Amino acid sequence: MKCWTRRQFSCLAGATGVTALCPKKARGGTKARVVVIGGGVGGATSAKYLAMSSSALDVTLVEPKARYTTCFFSNLYLAGLRSLESLTHDYDILAQRYGINVIRDAVTTLDPVARTIGLEGGGTLPYDRAVVAPGISFRYDAIEGYDEAAAQIMPHAWIAGVQTKLLRQQLEGMKDGGVFLMVAPPDPFRCPPGPYERASLIAYYFKQYKPRAKILILDAKDSFFEQDVFQDGWYRHYPGMIEWLPGQFTGGVKAIDVKNRSVKTSGEIFKADVANIIPAQMAGELAQRAGLVDQSGWCPIDPKTFESKLQPGVHVVGDAARAGNMAKSAFASNSQGKVCAFAIAAALTGSEQFAPHLFNTCFTLLAPDDAVTSAISYRTEPETIKISDIFVSKVGENAETRRKAVREANGWYAAFTHDLFG
């Protein structure tokens, strides 16, 4: 198996469609075709576990980027603790070892009646089942003045890659004594502890290189996940450096002035030296275009199979899915990808249908030697997914427990990315 570039793929697929590319046989006929859209956490997991679960499946993964940079651990890059390269992974092993047809292209259309997928490069892919895992998109209409162009000056850095690099450059260029202003989004959003881990690790960077700098968080919310643990960490490691203002205090962020690098709330204007605007979020654009999204902005799914409730034969995993109480995290997306892969394999090949096991574990760094953890298991109900057990770190844990959590976090990153791409 090999990876096809968009150009090679278009030539090969031509008008005849892609089936001609892989005419493999199984159970007396052609293999059942599963097309996975999006090579991030949810998509890579689904593709790999589909390919591993049955030789009777022909698995294709469509992803526009040659290499994927993880959002998880990108806050360490912002703090100068990891290189971006160390967070970047390719699809070679998925193609070579697992026999997945990796197509470098973007999906533009999904027709759930004809069961075909249209590619930006011009080809068409027929499917028996599709998995849609496009991640998030931003509600650019939520804050006046903030759009894609504004994000080039006041980055969100909430999809890792160029945006993350831009924010790091701005932090490096900021004068000592400057203000780093973050706008934190309303629920639900990708990675609930993420904005506060980012503030912690940028404070760590400032403490080394710009000790007079300040961090101001203008939050859309009135409270946030693991708030007591974060605020305790800020007090111990960075006293006086981080100020968090809840939505009920500011009345919420109303507008952005890119030219003056300022943020307007109900009653005040806040000036920034570096501004990180993380807007409200919804399912990735393709999910919207394919009719997979309901009025919440996310994709309703069957909790046992992750099949869309709106388009039969299409499954949605990862942040785009509306998965009950599950957090929008990499760990959760990976867990969903596995459940989805086994459910599709069972439906298409008659293999055993496993009961779903859904989990989320998160390691969050307050400082390079101080990490906290959360571990959650979920149970599925006919219409939703609920938390069945939860562990979260507590204020007052001893220093060795926190150092151990940092070692576990590093081990987790290596093992987890191996599970996705290795």
Binding region for ligand FAD (CB under 6 A): 37-43, 62-65, 68, 71-72, 74-75, 106-107, 133-135, 158, 190-191, 194, 198, 284, 286, 318-320, 328-331, 333, 362
Q: Which is nearer to ligand FAD, 200 or 265 (CB)?
A: 200
Q: Which is nearer to ligand FAD, 244 or 265 (CB)?
A: 244
CB of 55 to ligand FAD, least distance (A): 25
C-alpha pair distances (Å), 146 with each of 183, 282, 286, 345: 11, 16, 21, 43
Q: Which is nearer to ligand FAD, 69 or 262 (CB)?
A: 69
CB of 158 to ligand FAD, least distance (A): 5
Q: Which is nearer to ligand FAD, 265 or 314 (CB)?
A: 314
Q: What is the DSSP string of 135-147?
A: -EEE-TTSSBT-S
Looking up tokens 């991640």 gives 135
Alpha carbons 87 and 74: distance in angstroms, whole number: 7
CB of 237 to ligand FAD, least distance (A): 19
Looking at residue 193, its amino acid is P
128-143: burial string, b at 16+ Cβ within 10 Å, e else: bbbbbbbbbbbeeebb
Specify the DSSP class assigned to residue 190. S
CB of 231 to ligand FAD, least distance (A): 19
Residue nearest to ligand FAD (CB): 40
Q: Which is nearer to ligand FAD, 131 or 262 (CB)?
A: 131
Looking at residue 347, its amino acid is A
CB of 164 to ligand FAD, least distance (A): 8
* Strand residues in 104-240 grouped as ranges (E): 107-111, 116-119, 124-126, 129-132, 136-138, 179-184, 214-219
Alpha carbons 111 and 103: distance in angstroms, whole number: 19
- As given in the structure block, the two tokens for residue 228 are 């007591």
CB of 113 to ligand FAD, least distance (A): 19
Alpha carbons 310 and 294: distance in angstroms, whole number: 8
Q: Which is nearer to ligand FAD, 82 or 254 (CB)?
A: 82
Q: Which is nearer to ligand FAD, 134 or 279 (CB)?
A: 134
CB neighbourhood size of 9 (10 A): 24
CB of 166 to ligand FAD, least distance (A): 14
SS3 assignment, position 410: helix
Q: Which is nearer to ligand FAD, 276 or 305 (CB)?
A: 276
- Closest by CA to 91, choosing from 59, 57, 54, is 59
CB of 68 to ligand FAD, least distance (A): 5
